[in-house]
Amino acid sequence: MTMPPGRWLMAISLLAGMLSSMPVRAQQVSSQPTTPSQPAPSMKDQMIGKWELSTTERSKTCVVTLAADAVPQGFRLELEPGCGKALPFTKEIVNWAIRGLDIVRLQDASGQSVIDLTEVESGIFEGQRAGEGIYLLQTLEAARASVRPMDQMIGDWAIVRGNGNTICRLTLTNTETSADGFDVYLKPRCDPAVENFAPAFWRLERGEILLMSRRGETWHFEADDNAQWRRVPDSANPMILLRQ
């Protein structure tokens, strides 16, 4: 069939219009803005702010502000007044740095380590000084919100079984010992299980009450939903530490 000349002209015009519109649409698509991917925060960026450096039971604390400003050997930091008295080794700390992949180093003016701390839980760093023990570094906000003041723990307590029977009474004191803890005194007529364990020291560590014997054994007590301190791991007939 022969197409009339008028229809040929109409078809050619329609095809030309379609072809001319294609580059315009392609240009519109390509001109849409793209959102660049954001790099993950570096460890250095995550450390900027106020932190609490403390003994494990938080009986001695020091507020440290880590800043991003570069100084010789590392980055600037500030120690609150009183840090040198609470933790004498902090008198040597001049700046801070990141070492390796995950070590936060508090260091002296020459870049030598005063204490190296590694993240052991989310937002909690741990470091050890020879002959002194373990120290914790955590954000100031988290430290003050999640850890109970040690003063609230001092006083008389009872160890009670799950059936409600009291098996021992004891006193937690604020008298420091050489074992990085505080004295514990048992009262007379304790259950043999407690007397054989013979707790002599206690301390707070990461939200737990630790009772420790002179033989190096440790009982851990965690706060439960009923505001009681339950020995962990749990058992069918648990031990519960109750304030008197």
pLDDT of 83 > 70? The answer is yes
Same domain, 48 and 120: yes
77 within some domain = yes
Same domain, 167 and 77: no
59 within some domain = yes
| Per-residue pLDDT tens digits for 72-81 | 999 999 999 8
**Nearest-10 Cα torsion for 90, 93, 96, 99:** -90
pLDDT of 127 > 80? The answer is yes
Write the CATH number for 58: 2.40.128.10
Mean pLDDT, the chain, whole residue set: 82
Cα–Cα distance between 55 and 62 in angstroms, integer? 9
227 within some domain = yes
Question: Which residues are within 8 A (CB) of 85 and not within 5 positions of it... i.e. 6 or more apart?
Answer: none
The CA angle 183-198-146, to the nearest 5 degrees, is 55
Query: Domain of 136?
Result: 43-146
Residue 113 or 5, more confident? 113
Q: Identify the band that residue 128 occupies on the pLDDT scale cut at 50, 70 and 90.
A: very high
Same domain, 126 and 200: no
Cα–Cα distance between 238 and 54 in angstroms, integer? 31
Question: Which residues are within 8 A (CB) of 185 and not within 5 positions of it... i.e. 6 or more apart?
Answer: 170, 171, 173
2 within some domain = no
Residue 148 or 236, more confident? 236
Task: State the pTM of this model.
Answer: 0.52
Domain count, the chain: 2
Q: Identify the band that residue 142 occupies on the pLDDT scale cut at 50, 70 and 90.
A: confident
pLDDT of residue 35: 46
The residue count of the chain comes to 244
| Per-residue pLDDT tens digits for 193-229 | 999 999 999 988 877 889 999 998 999 998 875 567 8
Q: Which of 150, 77, 69, 143 is nearest to 114 (CA)?
A: 77
